Structure 1
Amino acid sequence: MTRSVWLKADDAVGDWEARKRRITAGLEAGVDWVLVDEGDVERVRELGQVNVAAFSNGDVHVMDAENEGSDADAVVVGKGGEGDGTVDLPSDFSGSADLSTLRANGDATQGGYVRILNESYEAFAEAVAEEAEYTIVIGEDWAIIPLENLIARIGEETDLVAGVTTAEEARTAFETLELGADAVLLDTDDPDEIRQTVEVRDEAGRERLALTTAEVTTIEQTGSADRVCIDTANLMDHDEGMLVGSMARGLFFVHAETAESPYVASRPFRVNAGAVHAYVRTPGGETKYLSELQSGDEVQVVDTDGNTREAIVGRVKIEKRPMFRVQAELTRENGETDRIETLLQNAETIKVATNEGRKAVTDLEAGDELLLYYEDTARHFGEAVEESIIEK
C-alpha cells in the first residue's frame, strides 16, 4: 500500500501568512497533498508543485484541459455542512446535502470530510466512503476504536484519510489493525512534526527483508573488468549498503564506504557494487543491471537487519579495475544446496557483512559466512517470474 500525507491549511489555521508558512514547511518536507479553501488553490500552486485539495461550497471544480492549473486536483465536501457538524446530521443519510453533492458530481475527483462526533458519524463516514474517492475522518479526542471500526468496514472503494496532529498519531493510524489508513491529514504548524510525519509515511511503505547467510567456497582473482560505483544523493549509515550479485536469486550485502581507510577518505554516499553485468535491488522488489543505472534512478538501501529505504542515484562511475570472483553456497528450504556468486573489485575499501562483522573483500576466506538476500525465483527484465532459469 502506498501511504500519503495531507497537510491541513484552511482558514482555521489563521491568515494567509500563517497558512503560507505551514504550506511552505509541508512542501519542503515532501507532503503529498495540501488541503485548503477554494480561494487559496492558485496561491498554493505558486508556492510549489503538490497535489491540492480544496474544501468546496457545493460547486465542484476540477482541473481540465481548458482550465489547467487554475482549480483543485480534488474537491472536499463536508466543511460547513453535516460532515463537520455545522448542520445537524439527518437521521436518514440518503437525504444528506453532503451526500447529494457527492452523488451529483460523480465524475469529479472528490473527497468527503467527516468529524467523528459519535457513532452516527461513523455510519455517515461509511456512507460517504461509498461515494467519495477520499474519505477524511477527524476524531474528536481521537481514540483507536473508531479508526479500527472504519478501517474494518470501509473497503477499497475509497482512500481513508485519518486526521492527526503528531507524527506518533500518524504512525498509529498507519499501523491500526495491521492495515492502517491510506493517508493522514496532519494539522500542525511545527515544521519538525511535519517532517517527522513524512518520515513515518516513508517507513510505513518500506520492505523489511529476511536476510540470510551463505558460506564462501571460493575467492579468486579474475583480472580486470568494468566496475560500477553507485554514488547516491543520500548519506548512508555505517550498517547500510546495497544488495548486489551476478545471480538475481542471491544478492550479496555490500557495505557503503562509510569506514575510514589509510588510503582513501570515507565516501558514505558510495557503494562499490561490482561489475556492469551484476544486479542491484531496487525499491518494490525489482532489480536492475548495474550498467543500466543513471542519475535520478532509485536504488534500495538496506541495513544489516534487513530494514530498507530508498536512495537517489546521483552519479554512476564505470572504470576498469581488477576483480575478485566470490562464490558461496547455502542450503535451500528443501535441503538442496545452491551456489551463488558475484564479482567485486579487488580493493580493501570494499567491505561485505560476515558472521564476524564487517570485512574487506581482500580478507575474505573460504568458510566465511556472508550476509545476503536469497529468493528462489527467476527474473525477467527485473521482475520476479515463475520459470526455470539456469545461471552459472
Structure 2
Amino acid sequence: MKFAWIDVRGLAPELRAAVVDAAVHAKAHGVVSDDAALLQTLPPTVNAVLVGDGEATIKITEIGTSDELARLSTSDTGAGALVRVVDDRTLRLACDAAVALPYTVVDFADPTKIPLEIVLAAADRAPGRLVTVCADLEEAGIVVDVLERGSEGILLAPKDAGEVFALIRLLEASTPQLDLATLTVDRIEHHGLGDRVCVDTCTHFAEDEGILVGSYSTGFILCCSETHPLPYMPTRPFRVNAGALHSYVLGPDNRTNYLSELGSGSTALAVNADGKTRRVVVGRAKLESRPLLTITAHSADGIVVSLTVQDDWHVRVLGPGAKVRNVTELQLGDELLGYLPTDQRHVGYPIGEFCRES
C-alpha cells in the first residue's frame, strides 16, 4: 500500500495549520516537520516524522557518508535517513540505506527516474520502505509506477490543503477485481459494412487478457487481444479489435466510454479471464469500415448481452478458462466470458435510473 508523508517545513503558519488538518482528515501516513512541538499535537492516527533533534514517532537524519549510515543503522532509534542523491557516490549511499534502514527518504537532483530505478532494484527484497521526495502531484503519479512497483512512500510539500487530498486519492487509486459471468450464445447475425475500432494500447497484453466491450451498458463481452498467432500477419500484442464504434468499453473507476471517444492518451481497463484488472493507456484508436456481425448472448439470470464486431476469423473473444473463440466460428450454445454491471450509464457515469436498451 502506497503512503503519503506531508512536508510542512517552510510553509507559512496559516497554510501550515490548514495542511496539517487536511493530512489528519485525509488519513495521511505521516506529517514531516523540523518542529518537534508541532508534531506532538498530531493525533495517534498520523505518524510524526521529525527531521532534526527531538522526539517523534519516526526520526529522519540527513546523511552524506557511509560512516553516518553505519552509525545510524546500529543505533537504537529505529530511525530513517534522508539522502540527497547528486552523484554516483550518493546514489550508492541511497541504495545502501534503503537496504539497511526501516525508512529511507531520497531526494533526487536528477529529473530522470533512472536513479530511482537503481535504488528500487537495489532494495527490492529489503524490508525497509523507500520514500521519494516529489516536487508536485504530476511527479508523484510517475514515481509510484517506476519499475511497476514504484516508491512505497511519497513526500510532498503541498501548495495548499487541496493537494493533500489529491495526493491521497492518487495513492489509493486501484483497479477492481471483477466477478466475470459465463454467457451463452443465442444468436449470430451477419451485417453489411460498418465502422469498427481497433484499440492500440501502450502495453503488452497477456494471452488471457482483453477489454470488456458491449452494445448495452448492462452487459460486456471480454474481447481478446491479438496475442495469439494469425495465419497471414504477425501478432500485435498491444491491440484489441474491439467492436463497432458505438460500443461501450469499460474503463477505470467504473466509467465507460464509447469506442468512438477513445484516442491517444485515453485509458481503458485490461481484464483477464480471472477478472483481474489493470489500467492501460491507449496509444491510438484505429477506425476503419469493415463487414460486421453481432453476437447476442445471455447470462444464467437471463440478462441479454450484445456485441457487434468485425466479421472476420481473426477477431476473437474469450470463453471460460481463457478459451479463445474466433467470432466467425461461434455456434449457438457456446460459452463466453462477460461482465454484468447493475447500473445504467449517463455520459459514462453509473446512474440508478430506468433505461431500456435493445
Kept after mapping to 1: 8 A contact 2:48/2:57: no
Once the two structures are superposed, what CA deviation does each residue of 1:229-288 show, in whole Å capped at 9, x if it has no partner? 111122211111000010111110001101111122111111111001100001111100
Matching residue of 1:302: 271
Once the two structures are superposed, what CA deviation does each residue of 1:20-66 show, in whole Å capped at 9, x if it has no partner? xxxxxxxxxxxxxxx8xxxxxxxxxxxxxxxxx75737876989xxx
Kept after mapping to 2: 8 A contact 1:5/1:186: no
Structure 1 CA distance for aligned equivalents of residues 32 and 177 of structure 2: 38
SS at match of 1:268: strand
Unaligned runs of 5+ in 2: 17-29, 59-76, 81-101, 105-119, 134-142, 154-170
Structure 2 CA distance for aligned equivalents of residues 273 and 259 of structure 1: 15
The one-letter amino acid paired with 2:194 is A
Matching residue of 2:206: 237
The one-letter amino acid paired with 1:185 is V
The one-letter amino acid paired with 1:215 is T
Structure 1 CA distance for aligned equivalents of residues 192 and 325 of structure 2: 22
The one-letter amino acid paired with 1:346 is D
The one-letter amino acid paired with 1:273 is A
SS at match of 1:235: coil
Match 1:56 to one of 2, 6, 9: 9
Matching residue of 2:353: 387
RMSD: 4.2
SS at match of 2:235: coil
Is 2:331 the partner of 1:365? yes
Kept after mapping to 2: 8 A contact 1:163/1:186: no
Match 2:313 to one of 348, 352, 367: 348
Structure 2 CA distance for aligned equivalents of residues 349 and 203 of structure 1: 38
Is 2:162 the partner of 1:210? no
- Deviation, 1:318, is 0.8
- Deviation, 1:330, is 1.3
- Deviation, 1:343, is 0.4
Matching residue of 1:265: 234
Structure 2 CA distance for aligned equivalents of residues 168 and 246 of structure 1: 46
The one-letter amino acid paired with 1:352 is V
Is 2:86 the partner of 1:140? no
Structure 2 CA distance for aligned equivalents of residues 309 and 278 of structure 1: 20
Distance 1:243 1:61, change over 3 A: same
Is 2:44 the partner of 1:78? no
- Deviation, 1:316, is 1.1
Matching residue of 2:150: 198
Unaligned runs of 5+ in 1: 7-34, 36-52, 64-74, 83-95, 103-110, 124-138, 143-161, 174-183
- Deviation, 1:347, is 1.2
- Deviation, 1:362, is 1.2
Matching residue of 1:378: 344
Task: Report 1 or 2 for greater relative contact order, CA contacts < 8 Å, sequence distance ≥ 6.
Answer: 2
SS at match of 1:362: helix
Alignment TM-score, normalising by the size of structure 2: 0.61
Kept after mapping to 1: 8 A contact 2:131/2:151: no
Structure 2 CA distance for aligned equivalents of residues 256 and 345 of structure 1: 14
The one-letter amino acid paired with 2:216 is M
SS at match of 1:195: helix
Provide the aligned length of Structure 1 versus Structure 2. 258
Moved more, 348-357 or 254-263: 348-357
Matching residue of 2:131: 185
Once the two structures are superposed, what CA deviation does each residue of 1:153-203 show, in whole Å capped at 9, x if it has no partner? xxxxxxxxx957966789x99xxxxxxxxxx7369xxx9x96353298989
Matching residue of 1:107: none
Kept after mapping to 1: 8 A contact 2:249/2:268: yes
Matching residue of 2:252: 283
Structure 1 CA distance for aligned equivalents of residues 290 and 11 of structure 2: 66
Kept after mapping to 1: 8 A contact 2:201/2:238: yes
Structure 2 CA distance for aligned equivalents of residues 196 and 280 of structure 1: 25
Distance 1:260 1:62, change over 3 A: farther
Once the two structures are superposed, what CA deviation does each residue of 1:293-342 show, in whole Å capped at 9, x if it has no partner? 1111111111111111111111111111011110001133xxxx221211
